[in-house]
Amino acid sequence: MAEYDFDLFVIGAGSGGVRACRIAANLGARVGVAEERYFGGTCVNVGCVPKKLFSYAAHYRDDFQDSAGFGWSIQGARFDWQKLKENKDNEINRLNGIYKAILDNNNVTVFQSRARFKSAHEVEIDGKVITAKYILIAVGGWPWAPEYEGSQYLLNSNDIFAMESLPESMVIIGGGYIAVEFASIFTRLGCETTLVYRGNKLLRGFDEDVRDFITAELGKDFTLKLDTDVKKITNNNNQLTVHFKDESQIECQAVLSATGRKPMTADLGLENTAIKTSKSGAIIVTDEFCTDEPSVYAVGDAIDRIALTPVALAEGQLVARALFSGESRAMSYKNVPSAVFCHPNLGTVGLTEIEAVEAKLDVDVYMASVRQLKHTLSGRNEMSFIKLIVDKVSDRVIGLHMAGPDAGELVQGFAVAMNSGATKADFDNTIGIHPTLAEEFVTMRTKRKLHKAN
């Protein structure tokens, strides 16, 4: 008889967890998984996928407006939130089913309940103890909001996807991914939107020129209230008032707090193990994703490295392969591309200029702000931005940043080139595709002075 019930038991059937289950099962492991909420995790249910569907919905407003300059006249276009939500819910239900089917088809035993550690080889589910040779924590993260008077009225990003009606006005607090994406979406769906951020430019951590550019561009679409902190929120018959520390205030129907996410590691029974967490609740792991218990691993948003679905997928896959095929490959966090689906989209891969300078690299910087051909006729006052950072010694392109339509689609390909060591000469020797925005990347010749490191 086997020593353990399972070779691998996974807690959480989100992106990282399901990938680990599937790979491990394909390698012959007996796998179980516990999921108490929804299959597919944040990404499928209350993250990337529904957000992108909402973003498509929002883009139509621009398309309708832009089409006039091209000879179209569209009367009577109106937006129906209930229809969008219903169609979105149907699609998410379909995807939930697909995730569950992946598990079933790979003979993974599914427990639709909460699992808590009893020891480094045991979890308890609905009063029953299950043993496993290895346990993988893939519990993801959850939106976090600060507490102040009236913070009970705050919505988080999960709530937004479940709203039954579109508010007439919304205040969005935060200046990160979620805040700028939802502000771009809701302003286009017809909701009077104000984004309130405590800093002086959006998207901290991104390249400074990108931040300047995107802050200016987004400020054309909705009200931006920068350098502002919230003091309290009051509620008068469902009419909310957000009061700021500078004594100003805004009335609105809804307030979204997009002030970050935290690993969802509370109430997991970690106290029954030697597993350690950071102050934010992130599970502390080695480069091989092993916790302080040699039999327990953790991946994805639970370890708080890079909170992106494709990163969690890669981490889950690495753990499963290392455990069941002996293939041990370190996870590389270099050149992880990402996109922010604000309007215009933002795509980025590699180093920011400041990171390059702080790393004492000798770099050349190329950048341009261009007006797309489309907007000569649409009349839209929207610019696009591109920037390259090149290591002078090797001539390699080590940072590539873009704000413009479909930036994520474009930057994915450039990420492959950069991972293959593409140099600026390779870019220059590549024939452009005309007329596109992407061709600007292979025609950049003028260098710009460097920013100073802090």
Residues involved in catalysis: 434
Q: Whole-angstrom distance between the N-terminal and C-terminal Cα of the chain? A: 61
Tokens representing 303? 């370890």
How are beta strands 338-340 and 384-391 bridged, if at all?
unpaired
Query: Minimal CB distance to ligand NDP: which residue?
Result: 176
Rg (the chain; Cα; Å): 24
Of 49 and 363, nearer to ligand NDP (C-beta) is 49
Tokens representing 176? 């990160």
Of 30 and 305, nearer to ligand NDP (C-beta) is 305
Q: Tell me the closest approach of the beta carbon of residue 199 to ligand NDP, in angstroms.
A: 5
Q: What is the 3-state secondary structure (H, E, C) of 234-295?
A: EEECCEEEEEECCCCEEEECEEEECCCEEECCCCCCHHHCCCCECCCCCECCCCCCECCCCC
Of 115 and 139, nearer to ligand NDP (C-beta) is 139
Q: With DSSP H G I counted as helix, E B as strand and the rest as coil, what are the percentages for the chain, rounded to 5?
A: 35, 25, 40
Give whole-number Cα distances, 181 to 10, 128, 140, 375, 384, in Å: 31, 42, 20, 22, 17
Q: Tell me the closest approach of the beta carbon of residue 99 to ligand NDP, in angstroms.
A: 19
Cα–Cα dist 432/397, whole Å: 17
154 closest CA partner among 262, 259, 255, 242:
255
Q: Tell me the closest approach of the beta carbon of residue 346 to ligand NDP, in angstroms.
A: 9
Q: Tell me the closest approach of the beta carbon of residue 198 to ligand NDP, in angstroms.
A: 5
Q: Tell me the closest approach of the beta carbon of residue 108 to ligand NDP, in angstroms.
A: 27
The residue ranges of DSSP E strands in 6-119, in sequence order, are 6-11, 31-34, 109-111, 115-119
Of 165 and 280, nearer to ligand NDP (C-beta) is 280
Beta bridge partners of 33: 10, 110
Q: Tell me the closest approach of the beta carbon of residue 67 to ligand NDP, in angstroms.
A: 27
Chain residues in the site for ligand NDP (CB under 6 A): 146, 173-179, 181, 197-199, 204, 258-261, 307-308, 338-341
- Say which DSSP state 423 is in: B
Q: Tell me the closest approach of the beta carbon of residue 174 to ligand NDP, in angstroms.
A: 3
190 closest CA partner among 68, 45, 81:
81
> Helix (H) and strand (E) counts for the chain?
12, 22
